[in-house]
Amino acid sequence: MGTNAFAAFLAARGLRMTRERGAILAEVLARGDHFSPEDLHDALKRRGAAVSLASVYRTLPLLADAGIIAAAERTAKLTRWERAAGRGHHDHMRCACCGKAIEFYSAELERLQERLCRAHRFTSLRHTLQIHGICRACARAARRRGEAVSSAPDGASPSA
């Protein structure tokens, strides 16, 4: 969805395509990473765009409703977004130490989810899968510091 389509989306809701919304849309479409509202605002400031952080926060839900962005991660304190338009479905692994996001797609996982939905007579509309863990670089750094790194959930023994 480009500028004209987003302007039409806004007009259908009685809203205008302002200079600020246009700058936010352009920055979002140029990004290939996951971003917070603050990341987006900082990038806009670096480009010299006079856009308030409040405008960024108000525009992000509109971009999501238009299908241009999607929430990549939601916590109690923060939502990180990613461009959704023109991208296929994927899931995420997120490092608890450095915040790195690894995007992946697994046909096997998708088939398993479809089988689970059928078994429970459940119609899936969409889903998100986010695996929280520690990336290879952070695990290596932790081991160099002598810290234990386990892939077992909730401190359980890896062999359990």
- Going from N- to C-terminal start, the domains of the chain cover 1-87, 88-148
Determine the 3-state secondary structure of 82 from DSSP: strand
Ranges assigned E (strand) in the chain: 69-74, 79-83, 91-95, 101-104, 130-133
**pTM of the predicted structure, to 2 decimals:** 0.64
pLDDT at residue 77, as a whole number: 83
Determine the 3-state secondary structure of 65 from DSSP: helix
DSSP 3-state percent helix, strand, coil across the chain (nearest 5)? 45, 15, 40
- Mean confidence (pLDDT) of the chain: 86
- Per CATH, is 88-148 categorized as 3.40.50.300? no
Q: Which tokens sit at 87?
A: 């991208």
**pLDDT single digits (tens) 107-148:** 899 899 999 999 999 998 777 788 889 999 999 998 899 888
Rounded CA-CA distance 41/24 in Å is: 8
pLDDT at residue 153, as a whole number: 56
CATH number of 1-87: 1.10.10.10
User: 44-58, 71-85, 137-151: lowest mean pLDDT where?
Assistant: 71-85
Average the pLDDT over 89-93 and give the result.
79
Task: Write 109-113 long-range contacts (CB < 8 A, 24+).
Answer: none
For residue 86, pLDDT beyond 80: no
Determine the 3-state secondary structure of 1 from DSSP: coil
